[in-house]
Structures are given as C-alpha cells and as structure tokens.
Structure 1
Amino acid sequence: MTALNPRTIVGARSVAVERTPQRLDPLGAQSAWLLVPLLGAVAVAYAVFSTVRHSGQFRDLTPALVGILVLALAVVVAAIRTHPAFAPFGRWSHFGVIAGALTAACLFSASVWGRNDRIQDDWGQIAVALMIVAMPLYRPIGEVAGSAVVSAVVLGGLAAAQHSIVISNAPLVYATVAATPILALAAGGAGYAWTLTGETLRWREVAREGQIRLEGELRQAAQRMISQERMTALNAEAVPFLTGVAGRDAITAEDRDTARAIAERLRDLSVRAVERTWLEDTLQLALGQRLAQSIPAEGEPRDRVDDPDRLERVLTTDQRAIVGALIASIAGRPGLDPSSVRIAASDPDQPSFTLRARVDEPWNELRRELLPFVSSLNAATMRATMTVDGGELTVRFTYPERSFPYPEGRRQ
C-alpha cells in the first residue's frame, strides 16, 4: 500500500496543462473538429478560383499549381492531426501545417511576381488566415499569435516588394492589405478560444465543488452495497446456521468449523468495505444492475480491481471524470459480459492502468462509442490506447506519458 512514492503523485498531478479548449474540454473540442477540414476545403477552393482569375498575370503557372498541392497537403495533415483519434494536436503539427500554408502562399506570389495587378484578390493570405483561425482550439493563444505574426510579416513583406500593382500606393499599404486577413482571423479565433477556455475553467470550478459533494454520495452508495452484501451473507449463511444450532441445542466440531468459515467471510466483506477504492466504487456502481448476483460465484475472483498500491491516487479530478465516464459507457454496452470486467494497475514509478472486458459487438460500434473517451484521456495529459482482439476489449491508459507495447489485435 506504500509502494507508490508520494513524489510520483505530486509529479503526476502537477503536470502543466496547456490552456486550450482541447486540453480543458476534450469532448467539447471533438465536436468542433469538422471545422478544420471545412475551412481547409474553403481555402483550397478559393485558391483554385483565384488562380483561374489570375490567368494572364502569371510569370510561370507551375509554382501556383504546386502551391495549391502544398496547401491541399497542409489541409489533409491538419484534418488528420486534429481528429479526435490522434489527440492531442501538438506544437510541431501546428507549425508544420502553418508552414505548409505559408509556403503555398509564397509559391503563388512567385508565380505572379512582376505581373500581379492587385494584392487583395491573391489567395495566399486568405488561405493562411483560414488555416490559422481554428488553431486556437488546439494550441495556446500565444503560440498561434506567433504563427500569425510571422505569416503576416512574410506575406506583407512580399506584397510590399511587388512593383506591378495597378493601383499605385505606398508599400506599407500593400503590406497592410496582405497582413490584415491573417491578423484579423487569428485575433477572432484567439478571442473565441480565450472566452471558451475562461468559461471552461469557471465551469470546472463549479463542477469540482459538485464532484466533492458527489464523492460523498458515491461513498455512501458503495457502503450501502457492501452492507447489502453483508446482510445477504448473514441471511444466506449465518441465520440458517444459527437457527440449526439452536434447534439441536448442541454444538459439534463441524459447527465450530462452519462458524469460523462464516466469520471469516463476513470479516473479509468488512475489510473490503474499509479498503474500498474509488476505482472499485465506480466499477461496482456501474456494473451493479448488470451483475446476476452481488456475491461472486464460486471460483470467480472477488476483486474486479487489482490495485494493491492505490495507484489510482495519481489521477486528477478531470482524469477521474473521464475514466468514470469510460467505465459507465463500457458497462452500458449491450454485448458486455459484466463478469469479465477487470481493471489492473501496475508500475508505481509510472502508474499504468489496464481495463479488460469481453464485449460481443462489432469493432466499429465499440470504436464509435468509446473513442471519444480514449481521445479525451490523451488530451488530458495521459497516453491511452484501445484494442479489440477476439472479442476482448482492452483499454490502457498511463500517466505520466510513457510508451508500452501493443498486444496483437486492432488498434484505434
């Protein structure tokens, strides 16, 4: 019970969480994912339209066509990397996507260099702005602002250096025209993300207070279930035994052995009630209505949670909420064999949890229902995977982040 180093708990609970909607509200950010491919599709469509409109202004059409392909590649990468299945969206993915869009914009500028009539109908700055506007949902605002400023300076500088614009004006005006869409959409996306994260943080404080009250109710419910187990054991074993002894008016050696066995079982139930953990309470309450009987059948392990070192203590409030939702979702699956659900915790230095269960359902259905919770664990500074092999569902999640081998089977 003492194998878990307190420093491990402090370290795990002290990992800094980026102030982004994806980190603070993983499930909410998942619902906004479609925005990324839609904005990317608009950017590519506008690039094609603008390229057609610039016919007759090209020094060389090839860079513009290559630019459209590079932009399309950046859109595909952004759509894949921001998908909930690959959460979280990291810093280098962000820089890679914006660098791709910026490169595409520069290629277009090169293709019309010296023959471009107007800055305002170029697609480069619009494409970059559309790719940046959704980034604050996944990356810190300061980081996105840096990308926007760099992009605005590069494209603004290219615009200022052009000398073929039909409307004669100061280079600063050309730079402003090119930079404004990028900075404006970046500011709009950042403002939305700032408001969203602020509201999320305030909601989390309210939710945390509610969860503290709920934990007491959860503990009371678990205690009632344990008391019911003890009463069932008393009614099923102790009462008939005592009634039989009273009827015989004599105590035999066999009676003493039986009494000792009943006492040990009751004592075991009492000890389990005292040492009950959060994971055990959560799993018991989730499966309570689906188990055929509250007392394990002969030969069936009594403990569904194997966590002798109480490694669950490293889980933060947010992570417990996600794990609890994951357990409840699995417990509600129609093809679940409730007696097969087990959770094991290992490695006190880097706590790792494994949930296994037999679920007779197609892989696609399980993935659709459980993937949001697995992705949320990944976004909540954990490393989570889900596999299905021969009808056995395995969900692994570890914190702090580490790598571990995947078993044979299908991986999410």
Structure 2
Amino acid sequence: MDPALSLDSRVATLSLAGMALAWSVGLTILSIAATGAWEPRVWAVALLATATIVVARETAPLRAPFTAQAHLVVHVLACTAYLLYTNGSEGSAASRWLPWIPIALSLLIVAMCRYRPPREILGAGLLSTSAIALATMPLVAAPMPLHGAPGGALVLTAVLPVMTASVAAACYSRILVANSERWKAQAGYSSAALEPALLSDIERVMYRERVNALSGEAFPFLRRVLDADSISAADRDTARDIAARIRSAMVHEVDRTWLQAAVDSGPTGVHAPVVDDPDACAPMMSGTQRAALRTLISSLGASPRLDRFTISIRATDGTCRGEVWARFRAPYRPPRRRRNADLAVLRVAFSEVTVSTPADQLIVRFSFDHA
C-alpha cells in the first residue's frame, strides 16, 4: 500500500500520531511527578516522539511510498523507549504501573495500517510484542511486584495492546489489498472486453488519415494524369515528390512514441508540452509508468497560469532519466499540495523521483530501467 491510494486517511493518520504523542507526554509528566525519576522517562518519551514524527513525515504523499524501513524504524524506536521506561521503573508495591508506551505504539500501528502489507504489519507487531515481553521480565522478577500483581498480569497488560492492534491492523490491510486486487482484476476484464472495439476505432481513424493525406495532392494529380494523353517529365517529378511526402508522413507516424501521440491528441484547453526524447525512451515505460506520467502532464497542462512546459528523456548507462519542467507566469508558486496525488503516483511508478520548486517553476526528475 502507498499514500497515493490513501490520501483520504491522511487526517486519521496525523490524528492517531498526535494522540500517541499527547498520551506519551501526559503520562510521562504524571509518572515523573509520582516517582521523581525523570531521566529514563524523558529519554523514552523523546524516542517515542521521534517515532511519531517518522510516521507523520514518511506517510506524507510527497514522500510516497511509505517504506518497510520506515515501518521498522517506528517499531525499533518504540521498543527502545519501552526498555528505557522499564529500566527506570521501581519494583515496589508503591510504584504505579501503566504501560503507556505499548498503548502509544498500538496507536501508531493503527496509523500505519493503510500503508504496509498485512504480513509485514503482523510480523513487525509480533516482534515488538516479544521485545516488550522480554523488557517486562525484570519487573516480573523484582522482589516486590508492582501493586502486588502477579508477573503474568504485568506481561499481559504490556503486550496485549500491541498484539491486538497488530492483528486488527493486519486484517484491515488485508481487506484493502483484496479490494485493490479485485478492482484491478475488474478493470483488466473491462479493458479486454473493450479491446476489439478500440482496435476497430484505431483502424478506422488511421484509414481516414490516409485518405485525407491522399486526397490533398495524390487524387487531384492522378485525375489530371488520367485526363492527359501522355505523362511528361514534370508529371514524373511531381509523382516522386508526392510519394516522398506521403512516405515521410507515414514513417513519422510510425516513429512517433506514445508520449508524443498523447501530447498531440490532448484535450482542448490544455497546454501541450514540448517533448524531447531523441533516444525513444518513452516506449520502454511500463503501463503504470505511462499512466502516472500522463496524469502529471494533464494536471500541469490544465493550470491556467502555465507559461512553458517541457518533457525531456535521455538514456544513459542502461537507465532512462527524465525531467518534467514547467514555468508559470510570475508572480506564482506552483501549489505542490494540489499535485500530491500526481506526485505520489509518480513516486510509486518510477525510481529516484525528486521534486523541486524554484521561483515560478516546478521541476520533477525521475528515472526508470530499460524494459
């Protein structure tokens, strides 16, 4: 899963991350006021705050997709924070016991459930559960358990929030993945059903284009030759020129890439970019990459203040590198937030996507391997 498909959950993700941070800070203040041991708890809340920032930052659409590395970092930071917390707890009957770090981690797990596959969510949750259980063992083995509670109860109260949140988040992610795969399968069936009609329309359009090309010069010339009694040298030269022009137009049509065709056949009212693809890299893109780039082109071209728009692609060392450059009429700054979805899809489809916004400009660089 990636943020491009989860833009509607951005508010929920930030809200859950904020709740986890507020919960951690509030319980830390109460814990320090009750026990007076502040240093390990401050470090613990600092690590958990870092994990919250990672969730809020890495789930942003401009940084899509949310990687497995970021997911693992959140769990490692939370488990380390819990280890510091347990080392700073006193094993006495007067000590308060509230596993606020596992509860905060459970909120973060729910916040991340739309961005990672179910197996990874469940696996990371089980590893964190094991780490939290091991970190709780020193409290269980203390001479006087907290509040006189049995050791098993301490372990259960620590691991149950993370375990239940991981199972629930994995189930929810599994439903999202299944719905997405079902939608893709239905879209594929629809495309297969429409393919014969689309091919027929393409053949009809090509036939009309060829007829139009011939009716401009070839048909009048042939009619004039048929009406004449003989063929002169000038007629031969004219026929040679007409054939060369028609052949050149047909070769240009064949050599034109899908990107140039998409630009030429764009809707009215949309600024068409200048395509610079001397190495013919555009045909090497996959279907997903073509759709992502076409979406960005349509979004930029529909901007009313667009002044100039270019797309350049080059092949270097087995990798195709492209750049989309757009300049807007000043004073103007491209609204990146409006293009969150387009840029997020582009980050999923291509590798090494970078976005920069100089004054009155938008520059998007991407790369992809030769197909």
- In the superposition, the TM-score normalised over structure 2's length comes to 0.79
**Equivalence for 1:334:** 304
Closer, same or farther in 2 for the Cα pair 1:264/1:360, shift >3 Å?
Answer: farther
CA deviation map 1:271-320 (0-9, x unaligned): 3344454333333332566589xxxxxxxx9x9463655652341x3333
Unaligned runs of 5+ in 1: 1-20, 293-300, 402-412
Quick one: distance in 1 between partners of 2:27 and 2:271?
A: 63
Asked if residue 323 in structure 1 is aligned to residue 303 in structure 2, the reply is no
Closer, same or farther in 2 for the Cα pair 1:355/1:57, shift >3 Å?
Answer: closer
Quick one: distance in 2 between partners of 1:190 and 1:328?
A: 36
**Equivalence for 2:19:** 42
> 1:237 Cα shift?
5.7
Asked if residue 373 in structure 1 is aligned to residue 350 in structure 2, the reply is no
Letter of the 2:71 counterpart = H
- Give the secondary-structure state (helix, strand or coil) at the position aligned to 1:138: coil
Two-structure CA RMSD over aligned residues (Å) = 3.9
Determine which of 229, 248, 272 is the counterpart of 1:268. 248
The percentage of aligned residue pairs carrying the same residue is 28
Quick one: distance in 1 between partners of 2:183 and 2:239?
A: 54
Quick one: distance in 2 between partners of 1:41 and 1:194?
A: 25
Closer, same or farther in 2 for the Cα pair 1:187/1:223, shift >3 Å?
Answer: same
Quick one: distance in 2 between partners of 1:288 and 1:222?
A: 20
- Give the secondary-structure state (helix, strand or coil) at the position aligned to 1:78: helix
Letter of the 1:368 counterpart = R
> 1:183 Cα shift?
0.6
Closer, same or farther in 2 for the Cα pair 1:251/1:390, shift >3 Å?
Answer: farther
**Equivalence for 2:154:** 174
- Give the secondary-structure state (helix, strand or coil) at the position aligned to 1:32: helix
Closer, same or farther in 2 for the Cα pair 1:212/1:285, shift >3 Å?
Answer: farther
Asked if residue 153 in structure 1 is aligned to residue 126 in structure 2, the reply is no
**Equivalence for 1:4:** none
Answer with 34-43 or 281-290: which moved more: 281-290
> 1:126 Cα shift?
0.8
1:345–1:354 contact (8 Å) kept in structure 2: no
**Equivalence for 1:88:** 65
- Give the secondary-structure state (helix, strand or coil) at the position aligned to 1:384: strand
Closer, same or farther in 2 for the Cα pair 1:165/1:381, shift >3 Å?
Answer: farther
CA deviation map 1:228-248 (0-9, x unaligned): 665665566667878999999
> 1:180 Cα shift?
0.1
**Equivalence for 2:109:** 132
Larger relative contact order (CA 8 Å, sep ≥ 6)? 1
CA deviation map 1:142-186 (0-9, x unaligned): 333333223222333343432455543431221011100001111
- Give the secondary-structure state (helix, strand or coil) at the position aligned to 1:351: strand
- In the superposition, the TM-score normalised over structure 1's length comes to 0.72
**Equivalence for 1:143:** 120
CA deviation map 1:27-52 (0-9, x unaligned): 21233233333222111211222234
1:126–1:182 contact (8 Å) kept in structure 2: yes
**Equivalence for 2:265:** 285
- Give the secondary-structure state (helix, strand or coil) at the position aligned to 2:166: helix
1:59–1:113 contact (8 Å) kept in structure 2: no
1:59–1:111 contact (8 Å) kept in structure 2: no
Quick one: distance in 2 between partners of 1:276 and 1:211?
A: 24
Quick one: distance in 2 between partners of 1:267 and 1:113?
A: 88
Determine which of 276, 279, 283 is the counterpart of 1:312. 283
> 1:137 Cα shift?
2.8
1:105–1:124 contact (8 Å) kept in structure 2: yes
Closer, same or farther in 2 for the Cα pair 1:290/1:100, shift >3 Å?
Answer: closer
1:50–1:122 contact (8 Å) kept in structure 2: no
**Equivalence for 1:350:** 319
Quick one: distance in 2 between partners of 1:241 and 1:30?
A: 60
Closer, same or farther in 2 for the Cα pair 1:398/1:213, shift >3 Å?
Answer: farther
Letter of the 1:180 counterpart = L
> 1:74 Cα shift?
1.9
Answer with 156-165 or 213-222: which moved more: 213-222
Determine which of 58, 76, 83 is the counterpart of 1:106. 83
Unaligned runs of 5+ in 2: none
> 1:59 Cα shift?
5.0
> 1:124 Cα shift?
1.4
CA deviation map 1:80-116 (0-9, x unaligned): 1221212222233222222222222333333332356
Answer with 386-395 or 109-118: which moved more: 386-395
Closer, same or farther in 2 for the Cα pair 1:323/1:129, shift >3 Å?
Answer: same
2:327–2:361 contact (8 Å) kept in structure 1: yes
